[in-house]
Structure 1
Amino acid sequence: MSLPDFSLLRWLREGRQSRKFILLIVFIALLLDNMLLTVVVPIIPSYLYSMKHQENTTVLQTSKPDTGPMTANTFQSIYSFFDNSVLLTGNITEGLRQGDLHQTSTEPMAINVTSKPSDCPKEDMDLLNENVQVGLLFASKATVQLITNPFIGPMTNRIGYQLPLFVGFCIMFLSTIMFAFAGSYALLFIARSLQGIGSSCSSVAGMGLLASVYTDDQERGNAMGVALGGLALGVLVGPPFGSVMYEFVGKTAPFIALAALTLMDGALQLFILQPSKIQPESQTGTSLFTLLKDPYIIIAAGAICFANMAIAMLEPALPIWMMETMCSSKWQLGVAFIPASVSYLIGTNIFGVLAHKMGRWFCSLLGMIIVGISVLSVPFARNIYGLIAPNFGVGFAIGMVDSSMMPIMGYLVDLRHVSVYGSVYAIADVAFCLGYAIGPSIGGAIAKAIGFPWLMTIIGIINILFAPLCLFLRSPPAKEEKMAILMDHSCPVKTKMYTQDSMQSYPMEDDGLESYE
């Protein structure tokens, strides 16, 4: 009788020393986080709208019926209240059989029944009011994540990246289960807010872990481009997956599927990262407040914030605008985001490598201008096909900005501060969250007050005006004390010395980091 084959366990054990496995885990964590982030985009507006009208239907059906004859005016008010032609058709037929309706009111009733306003709820006040309600729900995740990030960044310096990454998985799983079975706005709000805590742990710890194991500037850019590809893939798959599953299976199904995938990611983390071990950084990192005073870090964070704010404003407002102006069905609300998701995936993979050669400052500058132009073009669409080109441009350009600014955050810390990355990627995630917190919350109110086209005009102009600030990132100076450390070849710190113009890296010493231990 042969012994059991432990080749899989041996393979996983060897993977603990491989940087590629670290990259895979971060890729999957960002993928699942952003699938949960975007899978709700086509579901929530339609679900809240149907839930509201279902409550109205229940109230009217359980109320005591009027014993008097039903007039045409009475029918007209009930018809508008229901917005449901199928139910009213049955009521009219039964009323005609019983002779409760006057003959003079038959003709206007027939005219009203032939219309189907529920297929295209134009100028529906419930739908217009949802701009604010849906915007606040979407913004809650980013707001909580924004509050949590300043604590997660310094914490990773003390206990390492592995444990926060695993805690993020656990919270993400709980949030997904809550989304699956939540039946009220309050529970959906709590689930979305809870996701913010899990996202903070996953994003900050994941990007910091990559920056610590990929010390070469070009390799770090390539690795972060791949990791952001997981983010892009989650954004790509989320909306169409959510809309199709919601249309044909129900609200619970997409979240149950995500919960199963999240469990698989947690098992992989247990085998590879061993999150029970606390592995603090060997150096004391620069404080969060010191990094926030660095103008170059603030410019890079601003580029991330305003570029992502564009898509953050689109997510809650675009489905509602499509329902108002295009009579879009449920599945179209998610499919409309496919061009942006595909192009973001393409952009992050292309410019993760190309941005290092063409200059990350220039790549970000160009990306923000394209974001602005694309967003300005969105309101000119008259059907779902007209949204393809502008949404593709938005996603591609945001991919340019993210794949340029994420590596440059680590580069700025290497050049101007201590090479410990938890706090700087907490700032990067704060910038990302600001975009997703301010965008939906303010965007929903603006869309309700002055309209969706003006909302797109405002965010488009903001991106175009901010773009020239990326010129300052062309040649950021090293601080004097940091330059002295870089010039000291006897310094044991594992770092690289960068020229300010070409951004090429010259190894001070062979750090031998072919594997992660």
Structure 2
Amino acid sequence: MEKNRFLPLLFAIMFLVMSGFGIIIPVLPFLAEDIGATPTQLGLLMAIYSLMQLLFAPFWGQMSDRYGRKPILFIGIAGLSLSFFLFAIAKTLAMLFIARIIGGILSAATMPTAMAYAADVTTSQERGKAMGAIGAATGLGFIFGPAIGGIFSKMNLHTPFFISGCLSAITACFVLLFLKESLSKEKQSSGSKTKEPMWHMLKGPLLFLYLLQWFITFSLAGLEATFAYFAAKRAGLYSAQLGYIFMIMGLASAVVQGGLIGKLIRKFGEGRVIQGGIIVSAIGFALILLVRNFLTAAVFLSVFGVGNGVIRPCVSALVTKHAPSGQGRATGLLSSFDSLGRIVGPVVAGWMFTKMIELPYLFGIGLSICALVLYYLFSKQSNEMRRTLS
């Protein structure tokens, strides 16, 4: 397809966006603390971003169906840039919350619109590979961004936010100048006439895919929230070593998403790749219980990362293929379920960790089993609907 030539541009855009976002990750807690935030307020500051994403991602996805992908993607990236600049000049806790809320509301447009763009410019056979490329760009941004943020934070805690703001502003200009609109005027007109309520997307087999994605993100967010404490207790690992471990995990996941997932989908199909990814993730959770040193932590976490990394692109591809109307609506709702997992996962996993340090990972295995059941229900209902229609 001729439009496929825009996928490398989309990859570059998402890499730059996530690099800018990643730059602030190691710095935000220290900036908040410097301004006077308590640990509870810091937790709220982190959670409110995901809450805004949960609430607004479907709205922006629907807007991209109505007005096109390019303007909504620009709004998302420009909004992220604005929030970073607000952080850079913030002197009060209230200003931090305002910046975080604005960033959450506007940047909620970015991921669902990027996924909808990928769906627009690919055939159904190539869609999983394109979603994998977006996942790889996101993962690489989160690897390189925090390293850059850590370096520049030594100058001043506000400096990384200025850098992130400038990088996001440049990326927004890049979208305006070089990215072509992927949604035809006819489809935009059709999207503007859609009267079906958003919750109708949750009817039928798609509901099982959305719930599956929620469970997978729930388990991932729980691991991310507790693994540092687990590794410290079990293997005596601390911040610098954990940074390397998560970098290795991210690289392993990005390599699979960016290089292998297309071949896996062509050979096995999205469904089998999802099932395989869930099983590998569950094995990863089980192996994490055996962590004893840096090497085992890096290897076992990478096993989990590879399994988890192949699931989202395949789920995204299936959602866009089965959505009754509007790729943006479908991907926006998927992003909301992602955000819900990131809100609930750390809270539940943190509470479980206080009861028994192995419990979050045993629970992760249970969630993986539930995800397999959800895929079975999706597949069964989809096949029944196809037989009914034929």
TM-score by length of 2: 0.84
Hey, what does 1:436 align to over in structure 2?
342
Per-residue deviation, residues 397-448 of structure 1 (Å, max 9, x unmatched): 12110121111111112xxx24x3111111211121111121234334444x
Question: Would you say the 8 A contact 2:140–2:254 is kept in 1?
Answer: yes
Question: Which of the pair has the greater relative contact order for Cα pairs under 8 Å at 6+ separation?
Answer: 2
The CA deviation at 1:460 is: 3.0
Code of the residue aligned with 2:65 in structure 1: it is: N
The CA deviation at 1:463 is: 1.7
Hey, what does 2:360 align to over in structure 1?
455
1:224 aligned onto 2:134: no
Rounded Cα–Cα distance in structure 1 between residues aligned with 2:138 and 2:59: 23
Code of the residue aligned with 1:409 in structure 2: it is: V
Code of the residue aligned with 1:314 in structure 2: it is: L
1:312 aligned onto 2:221: yes
Question: Would you say the 8 A contact 2:128–2:261 is kept in 1?
Answer: no
1:19 aligned onto 2:3: yes
Hey, what does 1:342 align to over in structure 2?
251
Per-residue deviation, residues 301-344 of structure 1 (Å, max 9, x unmatched): 22222222233223343345556776656544433311221121
1:297 aligned onto 2:206: yes
Rounded Cα–Cα distance in structure 2 between residues aligned with 1:184 and 1:441: 26
Per-residue deviation, residues 4-62 of structure 1 (Å, max 9, x unmatched): xxxxxxxxxxxxx962453234323432443355444444456667x49xx7xxxxxxx
1:251 to 157, 177, 183: 157
Hey, what does 2:110 align to over in structure 1?
202
Per-residue deviation, residues 266-290 of structure 1 (Å, max 9, x unmatched): 1221113478x99562435554222
Rounded Cα–Cα distance in structure 1 between residues aligned with 2:296 and 2:157: 28
Code of the residue aligned with 1:458 in structure 2: it is: F
Give unmatched runs, 5+ long, in structure 2.
none
Question: Would you say the 8 A contact 2:216–2:371 is kept in 1?
Answer: no
After superposition, residues 236-275 of structure 1 pair within 5 angstroms as 236-246=143-153, 248-273=154-179
Name the larger-Rg structure: 1
Rounded Cα–Cα distance in structure 1 between residues aligned with 2:347 and 2:95: 18
Question: Would you say the 8 A contact 1:365–1:471 is kept in 2?
Answer: no
The CA deviation at 1:229 is: 1.8
Question: Would you say the 8 A contact 1:359–1:474 is kept in 2?
Answer: no
Distance 1:441 1:181, change over 3 A: farther
1:281 to 163, 184, 188: 188
Distance 1:37 1:136, change over 3 A: farther
Distance 1:244 1:335, change over 3 A: farther
Hey, what does 2:55 align to over in structure 1?
147
The CA deviation at 1:471 is: 2.6
Distance 1:46 1:436, change over 3 A: same
After superposition, residues 352-431 of structure 1 pair within 5 angstroms as 352-413=262-323, 417-418=324-325, 420-431=326-337
The CA deviation at 1:184 is: 5.7
Rounded Cα–Cα distance in structure 2 between residues aligned with 1:202 and 1:409: 18
1:35 aligned onto 2:19: yes
Question: Would you say the 8 A contact 2:20–2:165 is kept in 1?
Answer: no
> Does the residue aligned with 2:190 lie in a helix, a strand or coil?
coil
Rounded Cα–Cα distance in structure 2 between residues aligned with 1:226 and 1:30: 10
Per-residue deviation, residues 229-259 of structure 1 (Å, max 9, x unmatched): 211212332344444544x445334333333
Hey, what does 2:140 align to over in structure 1?
233
Rounded Cα–Cα distance in structure 2 between residues aligned with 1:20 and 1:278: 15
Q: CA RMSD in A?
A: 3.4
Report the number of matched residues: 383
Rounded Cα–Cα distance in structure 2 between residues aligned with 1:190 and 1:292: 32
Distance 1:163 1:406, change over 3 A: same
> Does the residue aligned with 1:365 lie in a helix, a strand or coil?
helix
Question: Would you say the 8 A contact 2:211–2:374 is kept in 1?
Answer: no
Distance 1:205 1:326, change over 3 A: same
Code of the residue aligned with 2:104 in structure 1: it is: G
Task: Name the % identity.
Answer: 22
Q: Which has the higher helix share?
A: 2
Rounded Cα–Cα distance in structure 2 between residues aligned with 1:135 and 1:369: 32
The CA deviation at 1:222 is: 2.4
Distance 1:135 1:412, change over 3 A: same
Distance 1:22 1:437, change over 3 A: farther
The CA deviation at 1:479 is: 5.0
Distance 1:191 1:31, change over 3 A: farther
Rounded Cα–Cα distance in structure 2 between residues aligned with 1:44 and 1:189: 12
After superposition, residues 140-179 of structure 1 pair within 5 angstroms as 140-179=48-87
TM-score by length of 1: 0.65
Question: Would you say the 8 A contact 1:236–1:340 is kept in 2?
Answer: no
Hey, what does 1:465 align to over in structure 2?
370
Per-residue deviation, residues 435-484 of structure 1 (Å, max 9, x unmatched): 1121234334444x425432232233212332233234446248579958
Code of the residue aligned with 1:468 in structure 2: it is: V
Rounded Cα–Cα distance in structure 2 between residues aligned with 1:386 and 1:184: 43
Question: Would you say the 8 A contact 1:362–1:471 is kept in 2?
Answer: no
Question: Would you say the 8 A contact 1:226–1:348 is kept in 2?
Answer: yes
Question: Would you say the 8 A contact 1:33–1:199 is kept in 2?
Answer: no
